Structure 1
């Protein structure tokens, strides 16, 4: 793709993208009978939905019986290799508020989680992820979703190019002593992957993240577009028990929440494959 708003290739892509914009969360919802034994037709519908919208919400009538069954499910969808860079060093990470923990990662609290893509701070790119709800929050905890391709579309319709956002030093994430992660510099938008499809590395956070002098003005514009011009495209959905979200690592976030005796509990899988 030629990365200018005036190119015929971009305009064709933008027009095609406009045809695949869900009006609400129902537009990406797929009902399945049993997540432990998913039908071929149900997998096909999930894949079709992700292909069109880069995300899918599924709802299973029967509860998940084991983590092994969840891995079998995502493998049928297209995930093959998994990121284990989490506090459990496992393919499946349990996302729930941690009490009396030295780890202060926002996902493991009940706080609001702003717009971001997963693994923007890692050297190896995350191309897809799943969140499966075991227990919903008592109050709040809704997830919000935004197709990153729509963000690119809106940005280029208002700005001539994205070269500074594609630079390999657009963002710099400092080293982490807690996880022994080294400093990393990275792009925000890139097509340089085996899929030749858009991959995005981004976070709205202001602390513990640096921007290059060239990219800073473009990043300010990008944040404004995400919060304002793209608001009409964002979807908000509260996962209930036995429901989940699968995406091609689109922009997403989470509202703050409160629990009673039963804590909000989600299972997360991150994959190196695009779906």
Structure 2
């Protein structure tokens, strides 16, 4: 719950964070309850956000406004990467007929998560939980393990020190086992996860590097678990290297 002494910026961010993919529209009372802000404060802030286009109000319910989307689309870490990666993601999707994703690591002081910048989903591909702009715990995803395996030590240790959400009976939650899995990612250059988010799927991820060699993003293919991971490893690695070359060539000298 947000304390009364928090700044206006903190309160606004808390209010906006009350919305989710599962609850994209909220009443004023729901906004107050989910944000932990007093009803009068919620009413005032929501009114100001509606006036600025950050929220929209329809039939007594609030939802995220287009102004926030316009601002968010300017984020250079997402926009530039997505534009550079799209030709390779489209080719990878066409070649495999499976879900293809691009993600970056978001570490905001909580347990590190991945934010999905793009997701291509063919009509007959296996069902997945991800969406563009959505988040998932880093340790349970192939893209997240790629990013954490190459993250600064303090970020990695912070992730391993926190409880891991269990999505399926096979989700790995033991820190020692996860540490070994991340070591394998650094050794092999790819991350393979099986039945970690959904029992029906596997994921193969590989790193995207910037001009200085640092990992700036990760891509993955999500396929039915019965398909096996190995057929997707070469094409995912090739696509990641192609994106890396484009990123390196456009990086400031």
Instruction: Tell me the TM-score range normalised by the shorter chain.
Output: under 0.3
Relative contact order higher in (CA < 8 Å, ≥ 6 apart): 1
Q: Decide which structure has greater helix share.
A: 2
What TM-score comes out, normalization by structure 2 length? 0.27
Q: Decide which structure has greater strand share.
A: 1
